Amino acid sequence: MTLEDVLWLNESDVEALLDFDELLEALAGGFRSMSAGEVLGPARPEIAVPKGFLLSMPAHRPGSLIGVKMVSVFHGNAELSLPGHLALMCLFDPETGATKAVMDGTHITAIRTAGAAAVSAQLLARTDARVLTIVGAGVQGRSHIQLFSRIRPLDEIRVVSLRYEDAETATELDPRARALHSYEEAVRGADIVALCTTSEEPVIQVEWLKPGAHVTSVGYMPPGTELDLQLLDASRIFVETRIAFEQPPAGCIELHGRDPALATELGEVLLGRRPGRLDDAEITVYKAMGHAIEDLVAAEIVYRAALREGHGSRLRQYRSSAASLA
């Protein structure tokens, strides 16, 4: 047996091949698998250096390839006109360990994060939710506009950001979107509020929220947080997995020290094991940790589409003359 050539997919390939609707379905399936105990996903190790950090995120479930994402978070990259998050995604054959594909993971990270938040809104927002507020108009804010518009028939999308011009630019993605200057004005009356910032301090206040609002938070800036901790006290908390209650980098700083039993996994709602929204006045909060199963299901969509449509380049693997190398 010889090793197959490795499929290489760049960012343009990934953007062209990652279907949003297929991703939303795959993410829901991934959450079901996690809550069913079918996913292997060890805690992500972190390498921290003075200007940022790098995480390694492996995952596998029955019937899938093995996926490993390496993602770096360097917020100072904005000064270099580079994304603050950069990532590389690798897929391996679970039978032989052979590398099947290597692809850009930056777009995958942005879209799967927004997609997971959108799945939470699809499950937990009120059935009559029509007004979405996006707080933060960077990569994540723009991705949220693209994904959330696919799960609910929205009438209005409000966008607010640290820089008003960024909010204006983000509104070009959807004719229903408009930019606002005031965070409070943007949040009051909104049915769904999506926090997509790199803020180390809370960006909204719990008293701004209407009864029955659904809030999503994908920011990760320990030891700070974009999320008002009083909001967690006044709401029901939903997560991808209760690993989110562990200390960073495995979990979320906002949840560490709280009782994991008080939270509900999205997969538990999807499997019918625990309820989602209980009534129209309840405030629900989805706090994202980000799990490697999300990267794996996204990368498998890209990989299958690449094989089907002939995208990507082939990289020849090294073939050792030795029978085995440790």
Number of alpha carbons in the 13 Å side-chain half-sphere of residue 291: 30
At 9 the three-state DSSP class reads: strand
160 plus 33 within the same structural domain:
no
44 plus 132 within the same structural domain:
no
49 plus 197 within the same structural domain:
no
136 plus 277 within the same structural domain:
yes
57 plus 147 within the same structural domain:
no
Domain that holds residue 70: 6-108+292-315
Burial profile 232-245: b = 16 or more Cβ within 10 angstroms, e = fewer? beebbbbbbbbbbb
Running along the chain, 326 residues long, what does each successive block of 10 average in pLDDT? 83 97 98 97 91 95 97 89 91 96 96 98 97 96 96 96 96 97 98 96 97 96 92 95 91 92 96 97 97 97 97 78 46
181 plus 272 within the same structural domain:
yes
183 plus 253 within the same structural domain:
yes
Structural domain count of the chain: 2
Amino acid identity at 255: L
In a domain, 324, yes or no: no
How many Å apart are CA 96 and CA 107, to the nearest integer?
A: 28
CA-based nearest residue to 206, from 184, 238, 178: 184
In a domain, 117, yes or no: no
- Per-residue pLDDT at 134: 98
In a domain, 152, yes or no: yes
- Per-residue pLDDT at 319: 60
CA 265 to chain centre: 15
272 plus 143 within the same structural domain:
yes
Residues 6 or more apart in contact with residue 180 via CB below 8 angstroms = 158, 159, 160, 167, 186
How many Å apart are CA 163 and CA 326, to the nearest integer?
A: 52
274 plus 169 within the same structural domain:
yes
- Per-residue pLDDT at 221: 87
- Per-residue pLDDT at 320: 56
- As a dihedral over the C-alpha atoms of residue 307, residue 310, residue 313, residue 315, rounded to 10 degrees, the angle is 40
Q: Please report where in the chains the tokens 């996690």 appear, as a residue.
A: 34
CATH number reported for the structural domain that contains residue 100 in this entry:
3.30.1780.10
In a domain, 118, yes or no: no
In a domain, 114, yes or no: no
243 plus 309 within the same structural domain:
no
How many Å apart are CA 69 and CA 59, to the nearest integer?
A: 9
Radius of gyration of the chain (CA): 20
- Per-residue pLDDT at 82: 86
In a domain, 247, yes or no: yes
In a domain, 71, yes or no: yes
Residues 6 or more apart in contact with residue 220 via CB below 8 angstroms = 73, 248, 252, 290
How many Å apart are CA 114 and CA 148, to the nearest integer?
A: 8
In a domain, 42, yes or no: yes
Reduced 3-state DSSP string for 264-282: EEHHHHHCCCCCCCCCCCC
279 plus 299 within the same structural domain:
no
170 plus 281 within the same structural domain:
yes
CATH number reported for the structural domain that contains residue 222 in this entry:
3.40.50.720
Q: Could you tell me the pTM of the whole model? A: 0.93
Q: In terms of C-beta density within 10 A (0-12 exposed, 13-18 middle, 19 or more buried), how is residue 290 classed?
A: buried
Cis omega (within 30 of 0) for bond into 223: yes
